Amino acid sequence: MTNAGSRASERVEVGLGERAYDILIGGGLIAEAGLLLAERLKGAAVAVITDETVAGLHLDTLASSLDAAGVRHVPIVLPAGERTKSFAHLEQAVDGVLAAKLERRDAVVALGGGVVGDLAGFVAGIVRRGMDFVQIPTTLLAQVDSSVGGKTGINTARGKNLVGVFHQPRLVLADTDTLDTLPPREFRAGYAEVAKYGLIDRPDFFAWLEANWREVFDGGPARTRAIAESCRAKAEVVARDEFETGDRALLNLGHTFGHALEAAVTYDPQRLVHGEGVAIGMALAHRFSARLNLASPDDAARVEAHLRLAGLPVRIRDIAGELPDADGLMTYIAQDKKVSRGALTFILTRGIGRSFVARDVPSSELRTFLREMLEQ
Ligand SMILES: NC(=O)c1ccc[n+]([C@@H]2O[C@H](COP(=O)([O-])OP(=O)(O)OC[C@H]3O[C@@H](n4cnc5c(N)ncnc54)[C@H](O)[C@@H]3O)[C@@H](O)[C@H]2O)c1
Ligand SMILES: [Zn+2]
């Protein structure tokens, strides 16, 4: 599909009524961003929030494109890394937007991964009670997940993503060329979220990934297609349940285990990055579902085989170093925000592409399962 005047090779619409927006996916989109923004946000000036790493790689291209289209812009460059999702950097970014004398009709542009996107979206959501927001995601994770759906926010000392607002972007530009500069480990971690969409409710997509994952890693049309299919999957869920009162929870497949493991390694990215936790978490969710006689052990084995082939960890013992015991992991699981009034809510599955939200998962079964998994 082609967008008028753009080289984007795919367009996915997030159907949210009058707040509907497009995700454009393809190569060279940053160079076209100026024209696309000028066209859609008539006359707006923009603050470009980015991090130091991405600024070094892609900010010049964006700045030239904005200049060429006559869009006034100011850069706000923050340190790279999860620690930037903090009150201190929120204050710095808000101050940058105000100092640039941007008004309510102007826009905040996020150029970077999920960290920049979450923080910049929050800035856009609260400055002058809401400014326009554009996402230019530059990691695979951000292109297939965090830039779509309107969740924004920061971390506090008490946990991740505890403070934020829902604030949908007006446009998402996923420039697939930016992924060429991404470290391979970050690409693989993002791939876990791509596979997740197949495992939630797209068995054909999962089978396609099994056959084509190498091409997805190599770039080109298969990569664009995988990103577009992932965005389509997320957009559908978001359009059904924007504020996560029901189905949107399916997007957390693998995340209850994953978040517990991330917490267990005190969010040390040397040991585990988010997507790796999700990969182990998805493998565990399938095994646990097989244990509960909901799904076939063959499906669990198939999921594990694919993720492992793509270079992702799938067992708890794949994580280097000491880990808490089963009771310790249970405590982290109970702290996860997906726990609602005491009952454990989990995403379980009846097989590949047949995930569902399970409430009242018996914690005794889970503890026994974790004990075994820690030994394998
Ligand atoms: N809002 C949501 O719905 C949602 C969903 C999932 C995750 N998240 C959030 O996303 C964050 C993780 O996002 P992430 O994995 O993109 O992390 P990130 O933003 O920290 O990016 C990872 C690293 O890659 C670098 N980088 C980014 N783009 C690059 C490029 N093109 N080339 C080279 N290096 C590049 C960054 O500087 C950073 O060091 C977490 O904070 C998580 O909570 C949000
Ligand atoms: Zn995730």
Q: What is the pLDDT of residue 343?
A: 65
- Marked catalytic residue, from 85, 170, 232, 234: 234
Query: pTM of the prediction?
Result: 0.95
129 included as an active-site residue: yes
**CB of 84 closer than 8 Å to CB of 115:** yes
Mean pLDDT of 253-275: 94
User: Residue 245 in contact with residue 217, Cβ under 8 Å?
Assistant: no
Q: Name the residue with the closest Cα to ligand 1, atom 30.
A: 182
Residues with Cβ within 8 Å of residue 49, at least 6 apart in sequence = 76, 78, 93, 96, 108, 109, 110, 111, 112, 116, 119, 120, 123
Pocket perturbation via mutation, ligand 1, pick of 86, 148, 186 by most ligand atoms within 8 A of CB = 186
Q: What is the mean pLDDT of residues 14-25?
A: 93
Gap between the Cα atoms of 241 and 11, Å rounded: 21
For residue 70, count other CB atoms closer than 10 A to its CB: 10
CA dist., res. 337 & res. 160, Å (int): 10
| Number of CB atoms found within 10 A of residue 326's CB | 17
Pocket flag, ligand 1, residue 151 (CB < 6 Å): yes
196 is catalytic: no
Model confidence over 128-146: pLDDT tens digits? 999 999 999 999 999 999 9
Any idea which ligand is nearest the CA of 150? 1
Residue 247 — very low, low, confident or very high, per pLDDT cuts 50/70/90? confident
Cα(189) to centroid of ligand 2, in Å? Answer: 9
pLDDT of residue 158: 82
pLDDT at 149: 94
Indicate if ligand 1 lies below 6 Å from the C-beta of 165.
no
Residue of the CA atom closest to atom 3 of ligand 1: 146
The pLDDT-based confidence of 1 (bands split at 50, 70, 90) is very low
The answer on pLDDT for 108 being more than 80 is yes
Identify which ligand lies nearest to the alpha carbon of 259: 2
> Nearest C-alpha to atom 5 of ligand 1 is from which residue?
146
186: confidence class by pLDDT, cuts 50, 70, 90:
very high
Pick the catalytic residue from 193, 229, 262, 304: 193
CB of 140 closer than 8 Å to CB of 182 = yes
210 belongs to the catalytic site: no
Query: Is residue 98 pLDDT above 60, yes or no?
Result: yes
pLDDT band at 2 (very low <50, low <70, confident <90, very high): very low
Q: Clarify whether 234 is annotated catalytic.
A: yes
Regarding the beta carbon of 248 and ligand 1, being less than 6 Å apart is answered: no
| Cα 24 to ligand 2 centre (Å) | 21
**DSSP assignment, residue 111?**
E
Q: Give the pLDDT confidence of 192-246 residue by residue, as tens digits.
A: 999 999 999 999 999 999 999 999 999 989 999 999 999 999 999 999 888 888 8
Nearest Cα neighbor of 339 from 261, 256, 221 is: 256
Share of the chain above pLDDT 90, in %: 85
Amino acid identity, residue 347? Answer: I
pLDDT over 70 (residue 4) = no
Task: Check residue 77 and give its pLDDT.
Answer: 98
Q: What is the mean pLDDT of residues 310-326?
A: 96
Mutate-to-test residue for ligand 1 from 139, 179, 259, 262, highest number of ligand atoms within 8 A of CB: 139
Decide if pLDDT at 5 tops 70.
Answer: no
The mean pLDDT value of the chain amounts to 94
> Using alpha carbons only, what angle is made at residue 200 by residues 197 and 201, rounded to the nearest 5 degrees?
95
| Å from CA of 369 to ligand 1 middle | 31
pLDDT of residue 335: 78
Closest-CA residue, ligand 1 atom 21, reads 113
Is 101 a known active-site residue?
no
Largest Cα span, the chain: 62
Concerning whether 315 is annotated as a catalytic residue, the answer is: no
Amino acid at 31: A
Cβ–ligand 1 contact at 146 (below 6 Å): yes
Share of the chain above pLDDT 70, in %: 96
With a 6 Å cutoff on the Cβ, whether 136 touches ligand 1 is no
Helix/strand/coil (H/E/C) assignment for every residue in 314-355: CCHHHCCCCCCCHHHHHHHHHHCCCCECCECCEEEECCCCCE
Give the DSSP H or E segment for 46.
Answer: strand 46-51
Among residues 238, 76, 261, 56, which one has the least CA distance to residue 147? 238
Any residues with CB less than 8 A from the CB of 101 and at least 6 apart, and which? none
146, 223, 250, best to mutate for ligand 1 pocket (most atoms within 8 Å of CB): 146
CA-CA distance, 50 to 109, in Å (whole number)? 8
Helix (H) or strand (E) holding 78: strand 73-78
Residue 243 has what pLDDT? 87
Residues 303-321: what's their mean pLDDT?
97
Question: Which pLDDT score is estimated for 376?
Answer: 82
Distance CA 34, CA 95 (A): 24
Dist. CA 366–CA 372, nearest whole Å: 10
